[in-house]
Structure 1
Amino acid sequence: MTGWLGVVSRAHVQRGVSGGFAQVCHGKAAPLRRMQAGDWLIYYSPTTEMGGEALRNFTALGEVVDDAVFQHDMGGGFMPFRRRIRYAMAREISLATLKDQLDLCAQPNWGMALRRGHLKLSPRDFATIAGAMGLTLSVAA
């Protein structure tokens, strides 16, 4: 099991939670294909909605259900790729409350890493964030 971080606005995260899917990096397939069934995804939401008010919270987490990456027609020619996710009950937690405990934030220019929109978390960071959100899991390196 590997832990991943997806960077998505809260409004888009809520849409995914309601629909049981994950969508990252403006609908690109490659980041979703890096995940495998049994992996876990934590969402970090820098804003409430795209271009909206600053939030900076971890907003949801869930387990990748299968290995299928599929497209969904959202209309207007937009066909983003998605993965099925089984979301866990979790509470939002502010990045500020965990920042000093995360390996990710100890790296120089760590904020730039978030701009990629999808990245692998260290097992320690995943456990720290998931635990703060109310879930106890362990992940392989």
Structure 2
Amino acid sequence: MSRFWIGVASAEHVRRGSAGGFMQLCHGKAAPLRRIAPGDGVVYYSPSEAFGARDGYSSLTAVGWVRAGDAYDVDCGNGFRPHRRDVDWWDARETPIRPLLDALDFTRGQRNWGYRLRFGVFEISERDYRTITEAMGAAGLTPAGSAPPPPR
């Protein structure tokens, strides 16, 4: 059974990962990726356009399905070996999150809705995943090689 997740990273980092067909969480830590399995749905939220910036970007920036296979590490040089998972990213438009706050289970009625995002990754409901994919113009898509979520 598929699970659904939101990961947090700057938009520039998300774009780099989606162009490369991978995801990376919490500065490359392995533990968060162990919770995520092949066939799970993933959405990225980007609080900023650039890493470390305080530009108020606050948008949903990528959506896709986790591919088969385990997490792996990559040598990026200078001793940095982040862990990654392969993802089939959909063609979707980056979408501000604020218009969706009242429609999402994890934000509705929450004055401090951004608190959960501080942890870098958390599970969301299938309903929220579908609401987000629809807002991003990716509703109903299933990338090649990925299993669709089971009907409910």
TM range (shorter): over 0.9
Query: Which residue pairs with 1:120 in the alignment?
Result: 123
Q: How much does 1:51 deviate?
A: 1.2
Query: Which residue pairs with 2:134 in the alignment?
Result: 131
- The answer to which structure has the higher strand fraction is 1
Q: How much does 1:139 deviate?
A: 4.6
Identity of aligned residues (%): 44
> Helix, strand or coil for the counterpart of 2:127?
helix
> Helix, strand or coil for the counterpart of 1:43?
strand
* Cα distance in 1 for residues equivalent to 2:124 and 2:135: 15
Deviations 1:14-57 (A, max 9, x none): 11011110001111111111111111110000000111222000
Give the aligned residue type for 2:85. Answer: R
* Cα distance in 2 for residues equivalent to 1:46 and 1:108: 17
Query: Which residue pairs with 1:30 in the alignment?
Result: 31
| Unmatched segments (≥5 aa) in structure 2 | 141-147
Q: How much does 1:108 deviate?
A: 5.7
Query: Which residue pairs with 1:72 in the alignment?
Result: 74
Q: How much does 1:67 deviate?
A: 3.1
* Cα distance in 2 for residues equivalent to 1:27 and 1:21: 12
Q: How much does 1:68 deviate?
A: 1.1
Aligned CA RMSD, in angstroms, stands at: 1.6
Range that drifts further, 130-139 or 80-89? 130-139
Please give the residue correspondences for 1:1-141 in structure 2 after superposition, counting only pairs within 5 Å: 1-52=2-53, 53-106=55-108, 107=110, 109-137=112-140, 139=149
Q: How much does 1:5 deviate?
A: 0.3
Q: Is the 8 A contact 1:126 1:139 kept in 2?
A: no
Q: Is the 8 A contact 1:127 1:139 kept in 2?
A: no
Q: How much does 1:58 deviate?
A: 0.2
Task: Extract structure 1 runs of 4+ deviating beyond 6 A.
Answer: none
Give the aligned residue type for 2:119. Answer: R
| Unmatched segments (≥5 aa) in structure 1 | none
Q: How much does 1:87 deviate?
A: 0.6
